[in-house]
């Protein structure tokens, strides 16, 4: 909540359309789509340069629309939240044990993905990875598995 408040308090006197889109967490093309639909107010234009800009009162209005989800055209609009770059896929989280195995294998110059590791473990342990097996033994079995696959 305080980050939204800081965004409103730290507005520039004027900002470009690109800056406005960035402030709202939207791409320029999506911002222009919503502008065309009447969701956001149109920018003002500098008479000398004919460049569009948003003064503070319009910036506040755009942020208000983003926060409330009710556009300038009085229609409801749903905004998706942005994912953080590099964040894992929430539908298929990588278990901590797999992360450890991948890290150890990469230190041994074996690059693997979680999907490849899952497939290898399924081939080595068809009944499922034993819960209390030592990770050193699992690494040994993985090394043997990939050694056999490479040599054949």
Residue 21 lies in a domain: yes
pLDDT tens per residue, range 100-145: 888 888 888 888 888 898 899 899 988 888 778 888 898 899 888 8
Q: Is residue 7 part of a domain?
A: yes
pLDDT tens digit sequence for 3-46: 555 566 678 889 999 999 999 989 899 999 999 999 999 999 99
Same domain, 9 and 63: yes
Q: What is the pLDDT of residue 85?
A: 63
- Per the structure, the complete domain to which residue 129 belongs is given by 96-151
Q: Tell me, yes or no, whether 54 lies in a domain.
A: yes
Nearest to 79 by CA among 56, 63, 91, 60: 63
Whichever domain contains 7, its CATH number is 1.10.1660
Residue 143: what are its φ and ψ, rounded to 5°?
Answer: -60, -45
**109 occurs within a structural domain:** yes
Q: How confident is residue 152, by pLDDT bands cut at 50, 70 and 90?
A: very low
The total number of structural domains in the chain stands at 2
Same domain? 55 vs 111: no
What average pLDDT score do residues 89-97 get? 73
């Amino acid at each position: 909540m305080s980050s939204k408040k800081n965004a409103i308090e730290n507005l520039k006197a004027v900002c470009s359309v690109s800056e406005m889109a960035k402030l709202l967490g939207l791409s320029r093309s999506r911002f222009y789509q919503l502008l065309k639909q009447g969701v956001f107010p149109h920018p003002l234009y500098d008479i000398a340069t004919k460049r569009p800009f948003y003064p503070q009162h319009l910036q506040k209005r755009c942020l208000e629309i983003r926060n409330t989800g009710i556009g300038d055209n009085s229609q409801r609009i749903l905004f998706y939240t942005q994912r953080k770059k590099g964040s894992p896929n929430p539908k298929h989280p990588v278990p901590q044990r797999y992360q450890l195995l991948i890290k150890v294998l990469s230190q041994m110059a074996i690059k693997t993905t979680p999907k490849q590791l899952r497939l290898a473990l399924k081939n080595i342990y068809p009944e499922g990875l034993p819960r209390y097996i030592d990770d050193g033994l699992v690494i040994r079995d993985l090394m043997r598995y990939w050694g056999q696959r490479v040599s054949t």
